[in-house]
A and B are shown apart, each in its own frame.
Chain A
């Protein structure tokens, strides 16, 4: 099964489970969790089910396109269901069947893994799902998002698409994965991997990045003052990505690191709080239709 079909199958599967099929976000994110479709929408009492692919940038993992498993940008297939359905594990296992994985022929395990993203004030409990010893999905019940208690609790499923595909296609090197007939993963991503790695580690300008961080932070605060949560949050994402670039460049010392993370977390918390307030002001519109069945 090529990567495109893996994505199409997952989309069609989760669409049938009632998920909104959203698109990748247009601001740099380090993980599908940071897309506002997850970070903001998992807050507050309104029910919310969504699925999307998220190209996720981790500058420090850039390897100039030379490492068979580590990349600057990988792809996550992200699912959020709020509140978490009672049969979510069974539904998830069905989704593996949709990818041609017959559980009877494999060893599938739920291995304890407690997830935490300190920069976003988010934490959850759950597992990494092992397929014959390989972690293919992060399965998390959010307990806290943006410093706020998750209530109701959302469940987050994050499939690592490259890993899943390299298992399904039996490839050792992700650049050899088939994206679609005649086109490999390497055809699409090898050059950007090289260039982003080179930029991150050699070309990026720390002074500029520091300046941008300050400016994005300022702009996020200004938008928060104006109660504009979505624009504010975009600038929080910008801050986070800029921090990641600086960190990968080795421009932030260990003593400064907690300070920068704290600044991002502070902004993320304010956005989270503001989002819930805004939704409340609007009367939690999405609660009206689906509210009763969840009561």
Chain B
């Protein structure tokens, strides 16, 4: 019999668009894993999805499992074979238990001892039979960020399951799951289609197409794109395509038809970001621009249906948008009446973290820390003034109607309103920028005020949360502490302030919390937790840079350093590992480190005991290298630092060649160990070289 295609469709009530891609990935992984685990050979898998269905089709699935030879280990030979050389009672019993006779027993070695094994030929079962039993398990194993129950069922799924298709070639696999038994009947578009029978798995897409469902995700996305392009051409518009919006819209419709509508030109007086957010976030519309990128009073919506009564649909959408824009204008006008000072004052009524006061308190800490940093970094007067003003008012827009309605506009509205109120360009920019980076790979702020406030905002957020014992666990991170910490590290890595180490920043933030009377736990305890947490984020940063894991391990030494220097060090090591002489260097350092561990900690060097020339040379070299290293470190010059310690390597090797460290004379031995401890202390300030791995 030829192979057949296995088609599995889960029919559900409308799924949230954002969960569809991951659900499909899981379905594919778990289905294929199940097939492999059951020794059912198969070809490639294809997946399909609409808001109402998750589907997988596996090509070329064999009719049945391959037969397998199974071996079961029984008692050891000394028990299984009697004195007469025949099978013992134990062996006979073992064979019987396996449903076999002693004729099926063999002796084989296992971990140095000989055992009796029962050999069994297991006949492969039919794929259809196995699917019927196995698919419910596969489906129950799918997980979702949010799942639900419905009716009388205990089962949880992303949304209620209403039908199932299980088709092996032309044959229905009638498994039962979620109270539904699989058949070959699918459902078409809610309004344009009907139930339809799929005669054979290969015809899935075609059958659904007849029922007004474009089931292939890419085909649907391409369809929407081409409809948008057609509208652009027809109307002479530009329709910028936001990838996330296109993705969402693709997962909101089964049969897409793009149509345009308009709104009152007078609304174009509102800031573009307000218009775009209203259209995109609230209504899933694509905004329309002219050739110069200026917004036009039109929008595009993608309807889940055909061309029937497009005018009516457009009119309904226009009505909704115009009500929303009227609200936005009302907010915009009301917000003009609120002074920045008054808005800042209102922050004292907005909770920051439960138990940690208000946003007003948070801003107070940001401002105080900004002052400290301004001193440390010796900012010039103008820069300092901008920083402090921006720090004072960085959160004022949280008190506005507009941000209340559109939280995603915080910062953006602050910038607009600050400029209107006569704040300087730099201050206005800093208000907007202090929210950057907003997500992984987002840009860092550009101006110095925005950069420092962003750093302090995120830092205080994480430190404050940790001081309350709030930490992310698993997938739970309700205060986005990981994102904030990653932001701190990104800013430090990109910044020009080379003297800000994480350790210093933790101290400053903790001091401020203490001063304001918020710190309820011992500062050093909180600091240890913070260090461990940020180390993980640093590791992630280095991994993203493509740094080898062993180099990362070597660099995460617990020594306080700035993320930018750590990155530079990583880059130096990445270059060095390519060189032949690097192995020598590492061997020298590692040997020194290993021996140094053998001595009592804190041994001191007695110059008078240094006999051999190699010993004296080593001591002299350490002294010089140490000084130069410290200077290079002050310049944050990673290459310079490495160059200094690498000079030690040949001297170390000569030392090991000429001198016996573990001398019988205790004084000599300790003196040499002390030398090695000093080397190790210096070298470790760069990295723990013994963690670096060489391919053998």
Contacts and interface: CB of A to CB of B under 8 A. Distances in A.
B312 A105 contact: yes
A85 B349 CA distance: 45
A84 B315 CA distance: 34
Nearest to B259: A107
Interface stretch (B11-19, B117-125, B686-694): B11-19
A77 B208 CA distance: 36
A84 B252 contact: no
B312 A106 contact: yes
Contacts of B312: 105-106, 132
B222 to A, nearest CB: 21
Nearest to A143: B148
B152 A132 contact: no
A129 to B, nearest CB: 10
Interface in A91-140: 93, 103-112, 114, 125, 127, 131-134
B399 to A, nearest CB: 12
A69 interface: yes
Contacts of A112: 14, 16-18
Contact of B313 (A84, A93, A132, A150): A132
Q: How large is the interface on B (under 10, 10 to 19, 20 to 34, 35 or more residues)?
A: 35 or more
A132 B316 contact: yes
A114 B19 CA distance: 14
Interface string B304-335: 11001100110111011101000000000000
B264 to A, nearest CB: 12
A86 B162 contact: yes
A100 to B, nearest CB: 13
Given A141-B148, A153-B151, A254 B350 contact: yes
B630 interface: no
Given A104-B309, A153-B151, A254-B350, A109 B283 contact: no
B450 interface: no
B479 interface: no
Given A125-B148, A133-B321, A153-B149, A106 B17 contact: no
Interface in A136-163: 141, 143, 150-153, 155
B23 interface: no
Given A83-B152, A133-B317, A105 B252 contact: no
A111 B320 CA distance: 15
Interface in A24-83: 68-69, 83
Contacts of B191: 103-104, 108
B323 A107 contact: no
B303 interface: yes
A114 B145 CA distance: 13
A143 B162 contact: no
Contacts of A253: 349
Given A131-B316, A253-B349, A109 B148 contact: no
A278 interface: no
A105 B308 contact: yes
B22 to A, nearest CB: 15
A258 interface: yes
A153 B17 contact: no
Contacts of A295: 152
A294 interface: yes
B358 A254 contact: yes
A167 interface: yes
Contacts of B150: 83-84, 141, 153, 155
B532 interface: no
A191 interface: no
Contact of B349 (A108, A167, A254): A254
A155 B312 CA distance: 30
B146 interface: yes
B51 A258 contact: no
B326 to A, nearest CB: 8
Interface centre among B146, B151, B283, by most chain A C-beta atoms within 10 angstroms, is B151
Contacts of A127: 14
A89 interface: yes
B305 A104 contact: yes
B303 A107 contact: yes
A256 B519 CA distance: 22
B294 interface: no
Contact of B317 (A103, A105, A132): A132
Contacts of A153: 148-152
Nearest to A258: B354
B151 A83 contact: yes
B308 to A, nearest CB: 6
B351 interface: yes
B190 interface: yes
Given A133-B317, A254-B349, A86 B146 contact: no
B190 A107 contact: no
B301 interface: yes
Contacts of A106: 309, 312-313, 316
A55 B313 CA distance: 30
A107 B313 contact: yes
B148 A110 contact: no
A150 B191 CA distance: 32
A133 B301 contact: yes
B287 interface: no
A152 B153 CA distance: 7
A134 B261 CA distance: 14
Contact of B190 (A86, A103, A254): A103
Contact of A89 (B13, B283, B304): B13
B320 A134 contact: yes
Interface in B40-59: 51
A258 to B, nearest CB: 7
Contact of A104 (B308, B349, B358): B308
A14 B283 CA distance: 30
Contacts of B354: 258
B404 to A, nearest CB: 13
Contacts of B283: 133
Nearest to A70: B327
B160 interface: yes
B667 interface: no
B192 interface: yes
A114 to B, nearest CB: 7
Interface in B331-384: 349-351, 354, 358
Nearest to B351: A254
Given A106-B316, A112-B18, A153-B152, 10 more contacts: A105-B313, A107-B301, A107-B313, A108-B304, A109-B14, A110-B14, A112-B16, A143-B149, A153-B149, A172-B319
The 5 closest A-B pairs by CB, nearest first: A132-B316, A112-B16, A110-B14, A105-B309, A133-B317
22 contacts: A83-B151, A84-B151, A105-B313, A106-B312, A107-B303, A107-B316, A108-B190, A108-B304, A111-B14, A112-B14, A114-B146, A132-B315, A132-B319, A133-B317, A134-B319, A141-B160, A150-B149, A153-B152, A172-B319, A254-B358, A258-B354, A294-B152
